[in-house]
Amino acid sequence: MTLYLYDMSNSTGVSASPYGYRIHEALHLLSLPYETELLSFSQVARMFSKTHKTVPVLVDGDREIGDSWAIANHLAVNHDPDNLLFGGAGGYPLACFITRWVDASIMGAVNRIIVKDIHDSIHQADQAEYRDKQETRYGQSLEALHLTGGDGLLDFQVSLYPARQAIKEYPYLGGDSPTYADFTLHSVFRWSRLTSEIELLRPDDRLRSWIHRMDIWLKID
């Protein structure tokens, strides 16, 4: 049975959700066939306003699962007999920690740094609503945020210390092969580079090598 993944797109028709990328990468690992339907910000609100706050949303038979972490758990239980996604029992707490860390710290930091570029990349019809929400959130115009966004770049880079230490010992956060822990962090950089020209990492940051390994594994040009 084919899986259906609802994801968010930017104005060029490319997936624009870091949370969606987590699931695309999980499905790649599990070699599961699936179809994707890309939606704009406003289409997401119209389609799922009564059931889900946002995408990704996975439809698996008669089940509809929202939230990337819930989807990952669904895939692990129903489509992962070899325990590849979390890397076995020991990998589940790691994936949980990385997911909570990225959601609580990393995503907010990156969003602030590239928020103006996110606005510019989405469908024009959605830009006014997005601008209003983000300017209310930060108490500044997007233009002002763009000018000062780089101020948080050093703090963001410092916050990545745990990930840098992990890949000193292993090629991936999940160990010898990528797991959901890798997908959660990699999705942030994948989203950022497709949205903004701002370089989040220093040229000598060892995380660049890890991103490159992930790109090769995912067959991303």
Handedness of CA 107, 110, 115, 121 (dihedral sign): negative
- pLDDT above 80: residue 150: no
Instruction: List, for residues 48-66, the tens digit of each pLDDT value.
Output: 767 788 899 999 999 999 9
SS3 193: helix
Token digits of residue 78: 């129903």
Domain boundaries, the chain: 3-79, 91-218
pTM of the model: 0.95
Residues 125-134 have a mean pLDDT of: 96
Q: What is the pLDDT of residue 23?
A: 99
Topology of domain 91-218, CATH: Glutathione S-transferase Yfyf (Class Pi); Chain A, domain 2 (1.20.1050)
User: In this structure, what token pair is assigned to residue 213?
Assistant: 């390994």
Are the C-beta atoms of 210 and 172 separated by less than 8 Å? yes
Give ∠ CA 148-19-186 in degrees, rounded to 5: 75
CA 7 to chain centre: 11
Q: Per residue in 176-196, pLDDT tens?
A: 999 999 999 999 999 999 999
pLDDT at 108 over 70: yes
DSSP 21-53: HHHHHHHHHTT--EEEEEE-HHHHHHHHTTT-S
pLDDT computed for residue 47 by the predictor? 83
Per DSSP bridges, beta strands 63-66 and 57-60 are antiparallel
| Residue-wise pLDDT tens digits, 155-167 | 999 999 999 999 9
DSSP for 88-154, please give it. STTHHHHHHHHHHHIIIIIHHHHHHHHHHHHHHHS-HHHHHHHHHHHHHHHTS-HHHHHHHGGGGHH
Could you give phi then psi for residue 129, rounded to 5 degrees?
-65, -40
Question: Do the beta carbons of residue 149 and residue 116 sit within 8 Å?
Answer: yes
For residue 49, what pLDDT is reported?
66
Superfamily of domain 3-79 in CATH is Glutaredoxin (3.40.30.10)
* pLDDT over 90 percentage in the chain: 86
pLDDT higher than 80, residue 221: no
Instruction: Evaluate whether 3-79 and 91-218 have a shared fold.
Output: no
pLDDT band at residue 151 using 50, 70 and 90 as cut-offs: confident
